[in-house]
Structure 1
Amino acid sequence: MEIVQRQDDGFRSTWAWANAPAREGPRFAVVPCRWVVERSFAWLGRCRRLSKDYEFLRVNSENAIYLAMSLLLLRRIARSAR
C-alpha cells in the first residue's frame, strides 16, 4: 500500500487577502492506484448486508466483509473454471 498526496495539496479552493495574487496549481491530477480501493468498496457495497451499517459490534462488520469478499472470489473462481 502506498499513501499518495494530492497534487493540489488537498485544497480545492483557498482564502486569500484582497490584494494577494491567486494561488496557482494544477486543476486536475490523476492519483495513482486510488481506483483500486474505490473499486473494492464498490464491490462490497453491492452486498445487501454491507450497504448500511447494521452491525453493532466491529467484529461482526469485519466478518461480514470477509464473507462478502470470499463469496466474490468464489464466484470468480467458479466462473473462470467453466
Structure 2
Amino acid sequence: MLLGMDLSLWPRVRKLFVDWGYRGLKGLASSLGLELEVVARPYAGVRGVWVREGEEAPELPRERGFKPLPKRWVVERTFAWLGRNRRLAKGYEANPRVSEAWVYLGMLRLLVKRLARAA
C-alpha cells in the first residue's frame, strides 16, 4: 500500500503509527522518508504500549478492564464517525476509487456539520 501512494499529496505526513504486525516495514518507511512507530505488548495481559523500534517495552502493572491504546483510539474514533454514513457502513463498492470518494464525502459532511455548529 505504501509503494502505491503518492506521498507528495500529503507533504505533512512524517510518521506512521502501526501495529506490532507491521514492524517489518521499517526499511520501506525509512526509504520513503517516514518514521515508523510500533505498538508493543510487553506481556499477554496488557493491551499494549507505544515504544520506538529497538526500545524495550516497559514493565507495566496488570490492570483489569478496557484500556484504550494511545494513538489507536484516534483511528477507531474516525472509523466510527465514517460508519455513521450509510454507504460507508458496509463495503458495497467494487472500485476502490469509489470507496475513497465516499470516505472523502463522509469526512466532508462531518467537517461541514462542525463548521455550521460553530457558526
Is the pair's TM-score, using the shorter chain for normalization, greater than 0.5?
Answer: yes
2:42 aligned with 1:8 = yes
The change in CA–CA distance for 1:75 and 1:30 in structure 2 (over 3 A counts) is: closer
Return the match for 2:104 from 54, 66, 76.
66
How far apart in 1 are the matches of 2:68 and 2:89?
28
Which is higher, the Rg of structure 1 or of structure 2?
A: 1
Which structure has greater strand proportion? 2
Name the amino acid aligned to 1:78: A
Confirm or deny: 8 A CA contact 1:7 1:26 kept in the other structure. Answer: no
SS of 1:53's equivalent in the other structure is coil
Which letter maps to 1:62? E
Identify the match of residue 54 of structure 1 among 76, 79, 92: 92
TM-score (norm 1): 0.69
CA apart distance, 1:5: 1.6
Counterpart-to-counterpart distance in 2, 1:76 and 1:38: 19
Q: Structure 2: any 5+ residue segments left out of the alignment?
A: 1-15, 19-37, 46-59
RMSD: 2.5
Report the number of matched residues: 69
Q: TM-score, normalised to structure 2's length?
A: 0.49
- Find the partner of 1:35 among 65, 73, 77: 73
Is 1:77 matched with 2:115?
yes
Q: Which runs of 5+ in 1 are unaligned?
A: 13-24
Aligned mates of 1:46, 1:26 — CA distance in 2: 36
